[in-house]
Amino acid sequence: MKFKNLLIASLLLFVVAMSAFAVGGKDGGADMIKVGWFGALTGDQAVWGNNEYNTVKMLFEEINAAGGVTVGGKTYGLQVIGYDNKGDAQEAVNVVRRLTSQDKVVAILGPNASGNAIPIAPILEAAKVPDIATVATNPKVTVLDGKVKPYNFRVCFIDPYQGAVAAGYAYEVLGARKAAVLYDVSDDYSQGLREFFIENFKKNGGTIVADESFKSGDVDFRPQLSKIKAQNPDIIFMPYFFKEVALSANQARELGMTQVLMGGDGWPSEQLISMGGAAVEGCYFVNHLDYDDPDVQDYKARYLKKYGVETELNGYLVHDAVLMLKDALERAGEPTGEAIAKALESTNIKGITGTIRINPATHNPEGKDAAILKIVSGKYVFQQKYAAK
């Protein structure tokens, strides 16, 4: 009897846990369109995953409260079904398979990481379910060997552009002529951004004096930093995520390195400021938006009021991914993955991160401005919009 009671209790806990991952069911009697989301709800990138997932839940609640979406003359509510992939590529494959085959979603939002977005393409194609990645910037997310992946889309600009922006700003605005690079050799995002920074910095007339790597999970960067220090670069480009940025920046300063550090959109998080402290003061990174832009203030305020914390970068991008999906649904004619994917190819909307025009040949947004931000007195301070040449 005790075993039976424990089994029943365990099953109840499982049901409660799973129900926490869904918003909706029936909304005022309206039929629900199931939409998937996945990302890191645990692990080093959980701060971003939870921010994304919370934003999707908030926006779906607001859309449903405002009357839902009309598809082919019929009104529907939106229901999100989310899973934690722990920031792991294999788990990304597993949860996308579950969302498409078990949960029968018609579209998926996320993930933020290129390494998790790239391997899910075959599952999306087999199920004919489109995915809108949020901050996954590697070109291979949507295009492979010159061929567009039919069900992979994204809302962010891509690494070739981001790398060109970082290189151009470093050379033209900051006056750097010698650059060093430290990157994560095991991460698709970091590898791609490194490649395009080096290519464009050289094209501008600069010299790469050091190119050092580490692997995800490393915590001691002193050997690589010591080699970089010996080359005395003007700037050090660090195309990886905030935790490793904070660790490596602190170690660089401990070694007496005073160079300006620069990175990409993997940097911005409140945790970078708290972990990096003085080591990241005066450093620069490429971002998708200016946090003080009037267009983002309403969303920031609504998120803060609902959840009691400030939004992260991922929230802004998934906000616009939701707008993309809603627009595509309303033009699709029917709530099926194939119809939604076709509609996504002609997206042309105004989001809070800028105008989003999807190129059907690449499934990438074109013409989105990049923002350069500087860390000043523990705050992210907008410097300028910068377009790569």
pLDDT in tens, 56-81: 999 999 999 999 999 999 999 999 99
What pLDDT, on a 0 to 100 scale, did the predictor assign at position 185? 97
Q: Which amino acid is at 148?
A: V
Provide mean pLDDT across the span 249-273: 96
Buried b vs exposed e over 201-219: b needs ≥16 C-beta within 10 Å? beebebebbbbbebeeebe
Q: Where are the beta strands (DSSP E) in 216-324?
A: 235-237, 260-263, 284-287
Higher pLDDT, 198 or 22: 198
Buried b vs exposed e over 286-303: b needs ≥16 C-beta within 10 Å? bbbbbbeeeebeebbebb
Share of the chain above pLDDT 90, in %: 89
- Is residue 141 within 8 Å of 118, Cβ to Cβ? yes
What pLDDT, on a 0 to 100 scale, did the predictor assign at position 74? 97
Say what the pTM is.
0.83
Q: How confident is the model at residue 389 (pLDDT cuts 50, 70, 90)?
A: confident
Q: How confident is the model at residue 30 (pLDDT cuts 50, 70, 90)?
A: low
- Secondary structure tally for the chain: helices H, strands E: 13, 19
What pLDDT, on a 0 to 100 scale, did the predictor assign at position 388? 78
Q: Which of 17-26, 87-96, 195-204 has the lowest mean pLDDT?
A: 17-26
55 vs 47: CA distance, rounded Å: 12
Residue 160, preceding peptide bond in cis (omega within 30° of 0) = no
R_g (Cα) of the chain, nearest Å: 21
pLDDT tens per residue across span 334-359:
999 999 999 999 999 999 999 999 99
Q: Which two three-digit tokens encode residue 157? A: 């600009």
In which order are the strands placed within the sheet that holds 354-359? 348-351, 354-359, 364-365
Q: Which two three-digit tokens encode residue 346? A: 């002609």
From residue 34, give the alpha-carbon distance in Å to each of 23, 24, 177, 327: 10, 9, 51, 16
380 pLDDT above the threshold of 80: yes
95 vs 36: CA distance, rounded Å: 10
Share of the chain above pLDDT 70, in %: 92
156 vs 288: CA distance, rounded Å: 7
Q: Domains of the chain (ranges plus CATH)? A: 2-157+294-365 (3.40.50.2300), 159-287 (3.40.50.2300)
The count of other CB atoms within 10 Å of the CB of residue 367 is 11
Q: Where are the beta strands (DSSP E) in 220-353?
A: 235-237, 260-263, 284-287, 348-351
